């Protein structure tokens, strides 16, 4: 008699987070850029503050999804911009909570923008493993890391990308979905246009996307809809007045907490 | 010269130095102090470059050889003439972490007064490389002989300064708008004249001068002024600033 086939139980589940009572508007790239400018140039909320908040909520969503991270392995794919900075903060926090975290960079470290660059040292001090794809770790070994991982976080490219991703991102985008764990994209799946939802080249197919401040319209349009998976939204501390100034109706989007599920 | 370097480098007579070329440094490169040959030797004639190449020792470094490492105890800069060099550091668990891939025309090494301080970095040839190097003393001699090298260094260092100011600005808790408001308030107390619709400051300041005063770039100042103009807080025309909403400027300056 044949052995019964046991299907291993999925080791993760996206959390049942509250949905905001007020409708959450979706914004395009230009609006988000303007909001970020008002925050940093006028109000004086520094990039590092926003990055810290984004990374903490990303770590928290990952923790909730895995039902605890102690002893679990998490791979974070990082580009060179602020999205990568959020990913590195998440790496530091997750390592602090007992996870085995490996950050794979798409480019050499000196290509990082100053904000994310400032995250490298604290991240390494927290015991996070790090390697630059192709230089410090061959792609075959990265594939192994991803396949063994309990979760993969996509912090390659943020909302500012227009057009297809740079060729150096291609291999990592291709590897992101190799594992059996969840793929969580930060802000917008890498390769998806934040405004139009179009996919001009390869893109990360996420199980969940954690949008920052307000979700980008690309999450609900064209291919972005399918590639984003389940949408979540994180409060990164931007006052609502920034958005009302930009003509967006205000709402108590985070009345239930700093992490909400998009309806 | 450091022990490691001695092990890997073998001296070779230098071929003629080609005139330096390459795109201008990006802001990131400036911030981390990635100097290029073109920054040092721009504007020199082929004959002058030839003369320099005769005075600076030229060396080859084979694949896998270290050009420089934190173990080197002397200050020396290395100009990559041919081949490629990988700059890396070690993580706390002893693994290599790649910082940059550098090719022809890039400069690695340590020299405090040029702000080259990647002290924990190793530089390894990933293709057979041809490298020339100089010490602070040799650079001093070059400046004596070719003053334009000195001028190039000043230009490079001011570029780095501006880049690091912009960086501080992004990280700063006090925004450009607040700094501008504080400075304008100060100027209006000294030069302010009541005028139709507000207080005029006839200090004859260009946007660049104003930007310099508050330690920002002209571009950031222009964006900030445009935003304040849009909100009818101030107006700026022909080097004349008019404060339209003095209470709001006071409020910003105090913030």
In sequence order, the β-bridge partners of residue A210 are A186, A232
Q: Provide the domain limits for residue A157.
A: 29-254
Could you tell me where the DSSP H helices lie in chain B?
3-8, 27-32, 37-41, 46-55, 136-145, 147-171, 176-191, 207-213, 218-230, 246-254
Residue-wise pLDDT for A33-81, tens only, equals 999 988 887 788 888 999 999 999 999 999 999 999 999 999 999 999 9
Q: Is B95 on the interface with A (CB under 8 A)?
A: yes
In a domain, A17, yes or no: no
Task: Report the distance separating Cα A223 and Cα A193, nearest Å.
Answer: 9
Nearest-by-CA chain A residue for B31: A114
Q: Check residue B116 and give its pLDDT.
A: 65
Quote the number of domains for chain A.
Answer: 1
User: In which element (H, E) is residue A131 found?
Assistant: strand A129-132
Domains of chain B, residue spans: 3-168, 176-254
pLDDT (tens place) for every residue of chain B, 255 residues total:
344 433 333 333 334 444 444 555 565 565 556 678 878 888 888 888 888 888 888 889 999 999 999 888 888 888 898 999 999 999 988 999 999 898 888 888 888 777 666 668 899 999 999 998 889 999 999 999 999 999 988 888 887 777 676 666 555 546 788 888 888 888 888 888 888 888 998 778 888 888 888 877 787 888 888 888 888 899 988 788 999 998 889 888 875
We report the CATH number of the domain holding residue A49 as: 3.40.50.10260
Q: CATH topology for B3-168?
A: Jelly Rolls (2.60.120)
Q: Which residues of chain B are within 8 Å of residue A111 when distances are taken between CB atoms?
A: 28, 100
Q: Does A109 touch chain B (CB under 8 A)?
A: yes
Q: Do A129 and B91 touch (CB under 8 A)?
A: yes
Compute the distance between CA of residue A233 and CA of residue A228 in angstroms, rounded to an integer.
Answer: 12
Residue A55 included in any domain: yes
Residue of chain A minimizing CA distance to B94:
A129
pLDDT in tens, A109-154: 988 887 898 899 999 999 999 999 999 999 999 999 999 999 999 9
Instruction: Specify the pLDDT at position B153.
Output: 86
Consecutive H or E run containing A24:
none
Cα A181–Cα A184–Cα A189 angle in degrees, nearest 5:
130
Q: Is residue A237 within 8 angstroms of chain B, CB to CB?
A: no
Structure tokens at A257: 């907490």
pLDDT tens-digit profile of A226-237? 999 999 999 999
Separation of alpha carbons B244 and B249, rounded Å: 9
- d(C-alpha B252, C-alpha B255), whole Å: 5
Q: Is B88 on the interface with A (CB under 8 A)?
A: yes
Nearest CB to B170; choose among A110, A114, A129: A114
Compute the distance between CA of residue B216 and CA of residue B224 in angstroms, rounded to an integer. Answer: 11
- Give B210 to chain A, closest Cα distance, Å: 16
Contact B28 A44 (CB under 8 A): no
Q: Which of B28, B97, B171 sits opposite A47 (nearest CB)?
A: B171
- Between B39 and A19, name the one with better pLDDT: A19
Architecture (CATH level 2) of domain B176-254: Orthogonal Bundle (1.10)
Task: Give me the residues of A, 45-74, that contact B with CB < 8 A.
Answer: 46-48
**pLDDT of A9 above 70:** no
Class of residue A171 by CB neighbours under 10 A (exposed 0-12, middle 13-18, buried 19+): middle
């Amino acid at each position: 008699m044949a052995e019964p086939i046991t299907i291993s139980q999925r080791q993760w589940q996206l959390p049942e987070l509250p949905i905001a009572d007020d409708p959450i508007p979706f914004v395009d790239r230009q609006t988000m850029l303007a909001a970020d400018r008002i925050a940093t140039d006028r109000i004086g909320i520094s990039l590092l503050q926003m990055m810290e908040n984004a990374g903490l909520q990303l770590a928290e969503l990952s923790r909730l999804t895995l039902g605890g991270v102690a002893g679990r392995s998490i791979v974070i794919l990082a580009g060179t911009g602020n999205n990568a900075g959020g990913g590195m903060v998440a790496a530091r926090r997750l390592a602090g909570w007992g996870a085995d975290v490996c950050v794979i960079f798409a480019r050499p470290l000196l290509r990082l923008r100053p904000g994310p660059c400032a995250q490298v040292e604290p991240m390494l001090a927290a015991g996070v493993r790090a390697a630059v794809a192709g230089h410090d770790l061959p792609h075959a070994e990265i594939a192994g890391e991803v396949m063994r991982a309990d979760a993969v976080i996509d912090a390659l490219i943020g909302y500012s990308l227009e057009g297809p991703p740079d060729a150096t991102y291609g291999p990592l985008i291709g590897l992101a979905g190799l594992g059996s764990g969840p793929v969580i994209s930060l802000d917008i799946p890498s390769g998806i246009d934040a405004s139009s939802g179009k996919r001009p080249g390869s893109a990360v197919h996420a199980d969940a996307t954690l949008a920052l401040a307000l979700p980008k319209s690309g999450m609900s349009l064209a291919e972005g809809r399918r590639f984003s998976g389940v949408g979540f939204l994180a409060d990164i501390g931007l006052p609502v007045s920034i958005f009302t100034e930009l003509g967006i109706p205000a709402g108590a989007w985070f009345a239930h907490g700093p992490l909400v599920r998009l309806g | 010269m450091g022990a490691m370097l001695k092990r890997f480098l073998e001296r070779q007579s230098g071929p003629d130095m080609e005139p330096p070329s390459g795109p201008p440094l990006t802001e990131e490169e400036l911030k981390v102090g990635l100097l290029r040959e073109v920054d040092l030797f721009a504007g020199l004639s082929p004959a002058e470059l030839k003369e320099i190449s005769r005075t600076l020792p030229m060396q080859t470094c084979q694949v896998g050889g270290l050009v420089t490492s934190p173990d080197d105890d002397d200050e020396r800069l290395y100009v990559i003439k041919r081949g490629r060099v990988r700059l890396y550091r070690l993580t706390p668990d002893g693994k290599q972490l790649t910082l940059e891939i550098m090719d022809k025309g890039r400069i690695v090494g340590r020299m405090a007064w040029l702000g080259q301080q990647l002290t924990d970095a190793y530089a390894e040839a990933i293709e057979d490389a041809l490298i020339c190097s100089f010490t602070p003393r040799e650079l001093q001699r070059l400046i004596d002989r070719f003053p334009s090298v000195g001028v190039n260094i000043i230009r490079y260092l001011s570029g780095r300064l501006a880049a690091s100011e912009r960086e501080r600005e992004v990280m700063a808790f006090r925004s450009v708008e607040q700094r501008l408001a504080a400075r304008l308030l100060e100027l209006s107390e000294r030069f302010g004249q009541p005028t139709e619709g507000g207080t005029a400051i006839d200090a004859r300041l260009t946007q660049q001068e104003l930007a310099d005063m508050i330690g920002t770039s002209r571009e950031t100042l222009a964006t900030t002024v445009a935003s304040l103009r849009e909100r009818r807080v101030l107006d700026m025309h022909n080097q004349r600033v008019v404060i339209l909403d003095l209470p709001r400027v006071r409020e910003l300056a105090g913030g």
